[in-house]
Structure 1
Amino acid sequence: MDYKRIKVSRTEDVVTVTLNRPDKLNGVDMGMFEELIHVSRALRKDRQLRAVIMTGSGDNFSSGLDFKSMMTNKSNAAKLLFKWWPGQSNRAQQVSSNWRKLSVPVIAAIDGYCWGAGMQIALGADFRICSPNANLSIMESKMGLTSDMAGSIALREVMPKDRAMLISICGQEVSAEEALKYGLVTEVCEDPLEAAQMLANKVKRMSPDVNAAMKHMYTRYWTAPAWKLLAYETYSQIRIMLGRNFGRMQSALRKKTPPEFQPRQRYW
């Protein structure tokens, strides 16, 4: 696909996805929805992939939904909200929920505005690293709307319910320091993209099978009954120990050399 609203670059086995409408503060229009859905689905099939970094071009992650662009075609809302089954993700929700389905860590590097739809996209990442001047907000309530882009899944995992309700209902703008205090972001640093790249390099030194198992364990079973989490722990451990990368890791530990991993196993 020839992307026009995002940029996708690859350095070895780490892919960087950049929201690329700087003249619109990376506002999310229908084209960006479609391109984010396409790239997230394509990356899910890539067993060579080790990590994904999401960021925005210019000085902002995203100012949110481009309402003016979206409202020029009234059918856009229907396309985004339609779903065959209530429990599945519609197209609006997939720009967040699809990143949770990847078998590799996804890291959001946030600078400037991260509002509305942009915040929902960032909540699909496993880690959020922001600059000190970042400004974050779940501001759909200011538009007379509720959040409907799947970010609430991550929100319930990282924040207390009362704080999540407060910033969502009031459309509160949150500074970097407040976001770190509330658990909305993982880290605050001067250069979030550089920090994201450093984290991706750390991830690459670990077994891709272990990374996949740990990610799915926490995203699928974080709020599940304990018995389901225990069952998945046992299942994933057995699958890892039967895989080639486990042997490579043990050999590297004995030789005290960096491990050379094979691509991720197919069942993750």
Structure 2
Amino acid sequence: MSSFDGLAFEALQVTERGDRVEVLLNRPEVKNAIDEQMVTELHAVCAVLEREPKVLIIAGRDGIFASGADIAQLRERRRDDALRGVNSGIFSRIANLPMPVIAALDGYALGGGSELALAADFRIGAPDIKVGQPETGLGIMAAAGALWRLKEIVGEPLAKEILFAGRILGAEEAERSGYVNSIAEDALAAAHELADRIGSQDPLAVRLSKMVFDMPRDAHPLVDNIGQAICFESEAKFDRMQKFLDRKNKKKSTEEK
């Protein structure tokens, strides 16, 4: 029985696969533009994953990740809507999920689509990707995370060109700058391969590592020690280390014969 049974999705296609959840943005008629319904459904996904931590893979449909926020809705938003932080709230919630988030990017990841991708821990791009923040050309700011996440990922000079001058990155530049971790012909398949590698690690150790990684500089090394203390008491630590020692001893014994 899936944890998502009983939840209705229209703007998303949600599939639970063992240790991970695959979410496909499903508004192909508007190039997967992010509207309030999609935001509401992403909140529902997050609520499940906060209770039952699993790796999350987010991808688009029909060769497009997300062309941005829904401009028709954005056109009508006013000051109080901005202060509600509709998109920034969900992207922060995704970034703070207990287990890693992987974005598989095809085609366009622009505006809010790019900011959704930036909220992920990993980004894998297809060869045809175009990523950027065209908000200033529409009379607004990239206020759902890009103004601070982008410079942490690609560096301040390039981030300013993307944010202030509307520069769009293709696959080669996106990989070279660190916007994406890698380029793959099938970005979604590559995302699942990465999820397989994450799945081979100890889930508690991965979860604690993500939590501690995001702590402010002044919190270290105290939080590192606390996280390690929790790991040191876990059964997985003893089991995994014993298996490592057993393999090492077996290899040594074989070499001595």
Q: TM-score by structure 2 length?
A: 0.88
1:56 to 48, 60, 63: 60
* Partner residue in 1 for 2:204: 209
Query: Structure 1's 130 and 45: CA in aligned 2 closer, same or farther, altered over 3 A?
Result: same
One-letter identity of the residue aligned with 1:11: R
Query: What is the distance in 2 between the residues matched to 1:149 and 1:44?
Result: 21
3-state secondary structure, aligned to 2:158: helix
SS in 2 for 1:52: strand
Separation in 2, partners of 1:156, 1:80: 26
Q: Does 1:4 align with 2:10?
A: yes
Deviation of 1:81 after TM superposition, in Å, equals 2.7
Alpha-carbon spacing, 1:79–1:18, altered in 2? closer, same or farther (3 Å): farther
| Deviation of the 1:153 alpha carbon | 3.9
Query: Deviation at 1:155?
Result: 1.8
Counterpart residue type for residue 184 of structure 1: Y
Identity %: 27
| 1:53–1:196 Cα contact (<8 Å) kept | yes
In 2, distance between residues paired with 1:152 and 1:243?
39
Q: Distance in 2 between matches of 1:37 and 1:152?
A: 22
Structure 1 distance, partners of 2:149, 2:213, is 11
Cα distance in structure 2, aligned partners of 1:121 and 1:138: 12
- Structure 2: how far apart are the matches of 1:14 and 1:191? 18
Query: What is aligned with 1:249?
Result: 240
**Relative CO higher for 1 or 2, CA cutoff 8 Å, sep ≥ 6?**
1
Q: How does 1:1-268 map to 2 (within 5 A)?
A: 1-47=7-53, 49=54, 51-71=55-75, 74=76, 77=78, 80-83=81-84, 90-221=85-216, 224-225=217-218, 228-256=219-247
Cα offsets for 1:22-50 (capped at 9, x unmatched): 11110111111111122123211114x2x
Distance between the aligned counterparts of 1:38 and 1:91, measured in 2?
14
* Contact 1:136 1:173 (C-alpha < 8 Å) held by counterparts: yes
Structure in which a larger fraction of residues adopt helix: 2
Structure 2 residues not aligned, in runs of 5+: 1-6, 248-257
Gaps of 5+ in 1: 84-89, 257-268
CA distance in 1, matches of 2:110, 2:189: 22
1:91 is displaced (CA, Å) by 2.7
Distance 1:105 1:95 in 2: 16
Partner Cα separation in structure 2 for residue 208 and residue 25 of structure 1: 35
Residue identity matched to 1:35: E
Question: Deviations for 1:90-133, whole angstroms, at most 9, x for unmatched residues?
Answer: 33212321122112111100000000010000101000000111
**For the aligned residues, what is the CA RMSD?**
1.9
State the SS of the aligned residue for 2:221. Answer: helix
Contact 1:80 1:92 in 2 (8 A): no
1:249 alignment partner AA: R
CA distance in 2, matches of 1:14, 1:95: 19
Question: 1:121·1:151 contact (CA, 8 Å) conserved in 2?
Answer: no
Contact persistence 1:44–1:101 (CA under 8 A): no
Taking the aligned partners of 2:246 and 2:147, their CA distance within structure 1 comes to 45
Whose Rg is larger? 2
